[in-house]
Amino acid sequence: MIEFFVQPFIDFEFMRRALAGCLALALGATPVGVFLLLRRMSLMGDAMSHAILPGAALGYLAFGLSLGAMTVGGIVAGLVVVLAAGVVTRASVLKEDASIATFYLLSLAAGVMIVSLRGNNLDLLHVLFGSVLGLDDHSLLLIAAIASLTVPALAVLLRPLTLECFDPAFLRGVSRLSPVAHYGFLILVVFNLVAGFHALGTLMAVGIMILPAAAARIWTRSLGALLACAVGIAFASAVAGLLLSFHADVPAGPAIVLMCGLAYLVSLLLAPGGLLAGRLPVRKHLES
């Protein structure tokens, strides 16, 4: 049993690299996903994960599978979409989610078209679904650096972010930090989506953000416990997904996201706030 769970990480360096990358994503991206969930922006996170595709694709078109070029391109594209959606929201009758959805659809189509112009199907799959088992030193350092930036940034923005999640109008009325918290948080979302892009691809990056956060939300209402629980679920799901990929010979990225989804379904059924909470028999103790 120990060999089944431990031996792959002992024997193979690519498994250890994948494990380290997933740990960094769990520490950085998943807490961002918690705030996306609390702000009712989960689908917006999915849209923004596609928004980075054309920038990463342009970096790929110019320099091939270059980590630096694709990272810079993805960050720039994500920030452009976020800022453009904000401008459209303030200058038109469209809501923010509609604006981002519009730009994300255009970005997704443009990104796929750009990759298809030069690359082959294998390159397109790499961009869309990532290659967590192929992480090199530079990719690991990038993911770890973004996680190292995200954790203290969230600690600094914790109070205004928490207020904005539950009463944004109150925050705007009592503090000048509302735009700082709002746009600072969106920048963190873009950076962590770029980190997830290198490991899980644009289609899967948001999975390790949102699914563990949704699973943890069913178990607890305390923000601190919610963050800790979400990180634990994300890392445990990543370990389970890597083992499933290794032993069953299936793609690692989808396996990790499926394990996150399984954790959500189990939580949905068994957690105190889950579907079966009121239907399980309660054992009554005898009173003396």
**HEC profile of the chain:** CHHHHHHHHHHCHHHHHHHHHHHHHHHHHHHHHHHHHHCCCHHHHHHHHHHCHHHHHHHHHHHCCCHHHHHHHHHHHHHHHHHHHHHHHHHCCCCHHHHHHHHHHHHHHHHHHHHHHHCCHHHHHHHHHCCHHHCCHHHHHHHHHHHHHHHHHHHHHHHHHHHHHHCHHHHHHHCCCHHHHHHHHHHHHHHHHHHHHHHHCCCCCCHHHHHHHHHHHHHCCCHHHHHHHHHHHHHHHHHHHHHHHHHHCCCHHHHHHHHHHHHHHHHHHHCCCCCCCCCCCCCCCCCC
Local confidence band at 123 (pLDDT 50, 70, 90 cut-offs): low
How many Cα atoms within 13 Å fall on the side-chain side of residue 102? 11
Q: What is residue 242's predicted lDDT score, i.e. its pLDDT?
A: 94
| pTM of the complete model | 0.82
The two structure tokens encoding residue 250: 């299936």
Residues 112 and 58 sit within 8 Å (Cβ to Cβ): no
Q: Which residue has the higher pLDDT, 180 or 9?
A: 9
Residue 167 has pLDDT above 50, yes or no: yes
Provide the pLDDT for residue 286. Answer: 43
Q: What gap in Å lies between CA 48 and CA 46, rounded to an integer?
A: 5
Q: Which of 70-74, 83-87, 188-192 has the lowest mean pLDDT?
A: 83-87
Which of 119 and 215 is assigned the larger pLDDT? 215
Return the pLDDT at 126.
66
**Of 257, 242, 164, 155, residue with least CA distance to 203:** 257
- Which residue has tokens 């189509």? 109
122 band by pLDDT with thresholds 50, 70 and 90: low
Span 170-182, mean pLDDT? 73
Q: Is the pLDDT of residue 191 over 70?
A: yes
Instruction: Give pLDDT tens digits for 60-78.
Output: 777 766 777 888 888 888 8
132 pLDDT band, cuts 50/70/90, is: confident
Average pLDDT, the chain: 81
For residue 24, what pLDDT band results from cuts at 50, 70 and 90? very high
CA dist 220 and 233 (Å) reads: 13
Is the pLDDT at 216 greater than 50, yes or no? Answer: yes
Query: Which of 248 and 80 is assigned the larger pLDDT?
Result: 248
Is 243 a residue whose pLDDT tops 90? Answer: yes
Average pLDDT score over residue span 34-46: 80
Which CATH number is associated with domain 2-270?
1.10.3470.10
Boundaries of every domain in the chain:
2-270
Residue with tokens 């290659």: 131
User: Model confidence at 117, in pLDDT bands (50, 70, 90)?
Assistant: confident
More confident residue, 138 or 42: 138
Higher pLDDT, 171 or 260: 260
CA distance linking residue 29 with residue 48, whole number of Å: 13
Residue 282 has pLDDT above 70, yes or no: no
Kindly give, in sequence order, each residue whose CB lies less than 8 Å from that of residue 129, ignoring residues fewer than 6 positions away. 200, 201, 203, 204, 251, 253, 254
